[in-house]
Amino acid sequence: MEATPQEPKKKKSRISAVDVRSFGKGSNIVFNIIVFLFALSCLLPFFFVVIISLTSENALTVNGYQLWPKEWSISAYTFLAQNGAQLLRSLGVTVFITVFGTIINTTITSTYAYSISRSNFKFKRFFTIFCLITMLFAPGMVANYIVVTNLLHLNDTIWALILPMAMSPFNAIVMRTFFKRQVSDSIIEAARIDGASETRILLQIVLPLAVPGIATISLFAALGFWNDWFNALLYIQNDNLVPLQYYLMRIQSNIEMLTKNLGAGSQYASSLAAVPKEATRMAMVVISTVPIVITYPFFQKYFVKGLTIGGVKE
């Protein structure tokens, strides 16, 4: 009986699904140091502004800007707190227009962008070109002022701080690109086959998938509303409706005007010398920046989320 030759055993080859390549330990240390230095270069200017706002005016005059001053003082914040009631009122106005304006801006911008991103929308080309034209060719300050004051009669109302910024053409183009690339037509077609209406598709399917994009344009809109002071300069005369940025700009303008117009021989020269001019300027930067710095981490986590990964199988 002849023995059948045994077949050679096949060597098992390890085939990895994903070719994972990692840097060496030394390379990781170098890259971590580079990232740390870059982050430090971003944080150091703001930290320096905080230090200057806590420096006495005398130390700034004698020694200039120092990373660790010889004389600390909270006189700048005390000076701003003298009008604490108006400061808190302006802060409340800014918070309101930022929150409410961001909701309006995000809603209008997202729905507009979703409409022009769908291939079955008949007038998508017209509204896309219309959006681009309004982004590239601004009507100008005079036209905006006439529309807001004479046509809409919004002057000296809270709506004058919200409606002129209720739509952002740039954000609409950003969201249009996001919808076209991240929200697949296959998902929408499957929902239509199941009998879902356009409103239900938008609210229950598209918007949950578009959270990173919506968070991004929401942050852009919130920064725009928070830092806006020009609309208040044009349309607001009532002190109860003055936002924080415009109120801080008023304080700075008053200090500069008094410094230029009152000479050394004036009877108010001694009072003006006691005003912490440089420290107050930096304190205003801190007051206007800290809320955004605190809010930003809550939006940042959405920037890197790929919520549509795995939504459509190829």
Q: According to the model, what pLDDT value does residue 159 have? A: 92
With respect to CATH, is domain 83-303 assigned 3.40.47.10?
no
Give yes or no for residue 6 having a pLDDT over 70: no
Contact between 141 and 231 (Cβ < 8 Å): no
Task: Give the confidence band of 22 by pLDDT, cuts at 50, 70, 90.
Answer: low
CB count within 10 Å of CB 141 equals 10
* Per-range mean pLDDT, top range of 43-47, 94-98, 287-291: 94-98
Q: Which of 68, 84, 72, 310 is nearest to 209 (CA)?
A: 310
Give yes or no for residue 210 having a pLDDT over 80: yes
Q: Which of 254, 93, 209, 116 is nearest to 162 (CA)?
A: 93
pLDDT digits (tens, 9 = 90+) for 157-189: 999 999 999 988 888 988 888 888 877 778 888
Q: Which of 47, 56, 48 is nearest to 78 (CA)?
A: 56
Residue percentage of the chain with pLDDT more than 90: 8
**Burial class of 114 by CB neighbour count within 10 A (0 to 12, 13 to 18, 19+):** buried
Give yes or no for residue 236 having a pLDDT over 80: yes
Q: According to the model, what pLDDT value does residue 20 have? A: 44
pLDDT digits (tens, 9 = 90+) for 192-201: 888 888 888 8
Q: According to the model, what pLDDT value does residue 56 have? A: 83
Contact between 96 and 267 (Cβ < 8 Å): no
Q: According to the model, what pLDDT value does residue 308 have? A: 38
Tokens matching residue 192? 């239509």
Task: Give the confidence band of 309 by pLDDT, cuts at 50, 70, 90.
Answer: very low
Give yes or no for residue 275 having a pLDDT over 80: no
CB neighbours of 268 closer than 8 A, spacing ≥ 6?
258, 262
Tokens matching residue 163? 């409606």
Q: Where are the domains of the chain?
A: 28-63, 83-303
Q: What is the pTM of this model?
A: 0.75
Q: According to the model, what pLDDT value does residue 276 have? A: 73
pLDDT digits (tens, 9 = 90+) for 53-75: 888 878 777 777 777 888 888 88
Q: According to the model, what pLDDT value does residue 248 have? A: 84
